[in-house]
Amino acid sequence: MMRNKTALKTSEVHLEYTLEELCKIKEMAQHQPDHQTTFETMKRQYDMLMEDKRQIEEQKDTLNPFEAFARYRQNQLFNEATYKFICQTKIASEAMRRTVLDSVEMSDDSGDSSTEEEINDIAMPFDTEIDVRLKDVTEEAASILT
Protein backbone atom coordinates (compact mmCIF):
# COMPACT_ATOMS: atom_id res chain seq x y z
CA MET A 1 0.00 0.00 0.00
CA MET A 2 2.92 2.36 0.58
CA ARG A 3 3.75 2.41 -3.12
CA ASN A 4 0.20 3.51 -3.88
CA LYS A 5 0.64 6.53 -1.60
CA THR A 6 4.02 7.36 -3.15
CA ALA A 7 2.63 7.25 -6.69
CA LEU A 8 -0.28 9.44 -5.63
CA LYS A 9 2.06 11.96 -3.98
CA THR A 10 4.16 12.07 -7.16
CA SER A 11 0.99 12.67 -9.16
CA GLU A 12 0.08 15.53 -6.82
CA VAL A 13 3.44 17.17 -7.51
CA HIS A 14 2.85 16.72 -11.24
CA LEU A 15 -0.55 18.39 -10.93
CA GLU A 16 0.84 21.30 -8.91
CA TYR A 17 3.50 21.94 -11.52
CA THR A 18 0.89 21.67 -14.27
CA LEU A 19 -1.30 24.22 -12.48
CA GLU A 20 1.60 26.68 -12.45
CA GLU A 21 2.09 26.19 -16.19
CA LEU A 22 -1.65 26.63 -16.76
CA CYS A 23 -1.50 29.98 -14.96
CA LYS A 24 1.30 31.05 -17.31
CA ILE A 25 -0.73 29.86 -20.31
CA LYS A 26 -3.79 31.77 -19.07
CA GLU A 27 -1.73 34.95 -18.81
CA MET A 28 -0.43 34.49 -22.36
CA ALA A 29 -3.93 33.68 -23.61
CA GLN A 30 -5.17 37.05 -22.38
CA HIS A 31 -2.73 38.78 -24.74
CA GLN A 32 -3.16 36.35 -27.64
CA PRO A 33 -6.84 35.44 -28.24
CA ASP A 34 -5.93 32.52 -30.51
CA HIS A 35 -4.35 30.77 -27.49
CA GLN A 36 -7.61 30.84 -25.54
CA THR A 37 -8.82 27.51 -26.96
CA THR A 38 -5.54 25.85 -25.98
CA PHE A 39 -5.97 27.10 -22.44
CA GLU A 40 -9.59 25.95 -22.23
CA THR A 41 -8.72 22.47 -23.52
CA MET A 42 -5.86 22.07 -21.07
CA LYS A 43 -7.96 23.34 -18.18
CA ARG A 44 -10.64 20.74 -18.98
CA GLN A 45 -7.99 18.01 -18.99
CA TYR A 46 -6.61 19.29 -15.69
CA ASP A 47 -10.11 19.27 -14.15
CA MET A 48 -10.63 15.68 -15.33
CA LEU A 49 -7.34 14.60 -13.75
CA MET A 50 -8.27 16.32 -10.50
CA GLU A 51 -11.59 14.46 -10.49
CA ASP A 52 -9.74 11.17 -11.05
CA LYS A 53 -7.40 12.03 -8.16
CA ARG A 54 -10.35 12.73 -5.90
CA GLN A 55 -11.90 9.36 -6.78
CA ILE A 56 -8.62 7.54 -6.12
CA GLU A 57 -8.24 9.24 -2.74
CA GLU A 58 -11.78 8.25 -1.74
CA GLN A 59 -11.15 4.54 -2.30
CA LYS A 60 -10.97 2.52 0.88
CA ASP A 61 -8.13 0.14 1.68
CA THR A 62 -8.79 -3.53 1.06
CA LEU A 63 -7.22 -6.82 2.04
CA ASN A 64 -8.26 -8.49 -1.20
CA PRO A 65 -5.01 -8.93 -3.19
CA PHE A 66 -6.76 -8.58 -6.55
CA GLU A 67 -8.41 -5.31 -5.58
CA ALA A 68 -5.15 -4.08 -4.04
CA PHE A 69 -3.28 -4.82 -7.26
CA ALA A 70 -6.03 -3.13 -9.31
CA ARG A 71 -5.72 -0.01 -7.16
CA TYR A 72 -1.94 -0.09 -7.39
CA ARG A 73 -2.18 -0.31 -11.17
CA GLN A 74 -4.75 2.49 -11.25
CA ASN A 75 -2.39 4.72 -9.26
CA GLN A 76 0.50 3.89 -11.57
CA LEU A 77 -1.59 4.69 -14.65
CA PHE A 78 -2.75 7.93 -13.03
CA ASN A 79 0.85 8.86 -12.25
CA GLU A 80 1.81 8.21 -15.87
CA ALA A 81 -1.15 10.26 -17.12
CA THR A 82 -0.21 13.23 -14.94
CA TYR A 83 3.40 13.05 -16.13
CA LYS A 84 2.30 13.00 -19.78
CA PHE A 85 0.02 15.94 -19.08
CA ILE A 86 2.94 17.90 -17.60
CA CYS A 87 4.95 17.26 -20.76
CA GLN A 88 2.04 18.25 -22.98
CA THR A 89 1.40 21.43 -20.99
CA LYS A 90 5.08 22.41 -20.98
CA ILE A 91 5.34 21.93 -24.76
CA ALA A 92 2.21 24.03 -25.34
CA SER A 93 3.47 26.74 -22.99
CA GLU A 94 6.85 26.92 -24.72
CA ALA A 95 5.19 27.06 -28.13
CA MET A 96 2.98 29.92 -26.97
CA ARG A 97 5.99 31.80 -25.57
CA ARG A 98 7.80 31.38 -28.88
CA THR A 99 4.85 32.80 -30.82
CA VAL A 100 4.68 35.74 -28.41
CA LEU A 101 8.41 36.33 -28.88
CA ASP A 102 8.08 36.01 -32.65
CA SER A 103 5.28 38.59 -32.69
CA VAL A 104 7.40 40.98 -30.61
CA GLU A 105 10.39 40.53 -32.93
CA MET A 106 8.23 41.14 -35.99
CA SER A 107 6.82 44.34 -34.50
CA ASP A 108 10.36 45.52 -33.68
CA ASP A 109 11.63 44.78 -37.23
CA SER A 110 8.77 46.63 -38.89
CA GLY A 111 10.05 50.03 -37.68
CA ASP A 112 11.11 52.70 -40.14
CA SER A 113 14.88 52.81 -40.62
CA SER A 114 14.83 56.62 -40.93
CA THR A 115 13.85 56.90 -37.26
CA GLU A 116 16.92 54.99 -36.06
CA GLU A 117 19.42 57.03 -34.11
CA GLU A 118 23.17 56.95 -34.50
CA ILE A 119 25.72 57.11 -31.73
CA ASN A 120 27.93 60.11 -32.36
CA ASP A 121 29.77 60.58 -29.06
CA ILE A 122 30.43 58.82 -25.82
CA ALA A 123 30.19 60.86 -22.64
CA MET A 124 31.56 59.51 -19.39
CA PRO A 125 31.71 61.64 -16.23
CA PHE A 126 34.80 61.16 -14.05
CA ASP A 127 35.39 62.52 -10.58
CA THR A 128 39.12 61.85 -10.77
CA GLU A 129 41.84 62.19 -13.36
CA ILE A 130 41.56 59.76 -16.29
CA ASP A 131 43.94 56.80 -16.29
CA VAL A 132 45.94 56.38 -19.51
CA ARG A 133 44.67 52.81 -20.03
CA LEU A 134 41.08 53.91 -19.53
CA LYS A 135 41.60 56.75 -21.99
CA ASP A 136 43.01 54.33 -24.61
CA VAL A 137 40.13 51.86 -24.15
CA THR A 138 37.57 54.67 -24.40
CA GLU A 139 39.13 56.06 -27.56
CA GLU A 140 39.27 52.58 -29.09
CA ALA A 141 35.60 51.98 -28.28
CA ALA A 142 34.68 55.35 -29.77
CA SER A 143 36.60 54.57 -32.95
CA ILE A 144 34.82 51.21 -33.29
CA LEU A 145 31.41 52.81 -32.89
CA THR A 146 32.08 55.52 -35.47
pLDDT tens for each residue of 56-75 = 888 888 888 888 888 888 88
Q: What is the pLDDT of residues 9-59, one digit of tens each?
A: 888 888 999 999 888 888 888 877 777 888 889 899 999 999 999 998 888
81/138: higher pLDDT: 81
pLDDT tens column, 85-115: 999 999 988 888 888 777 766 655 555 555 5
Contact 14, 83 (CB under 8 A): yes
CB 95 within 8 A of CB 34: no
pLDDT tens readout for residues 109-136 = 555 555 556 656 656 566 666 667 767 7
**Residue 146, pLDDT score:** 65
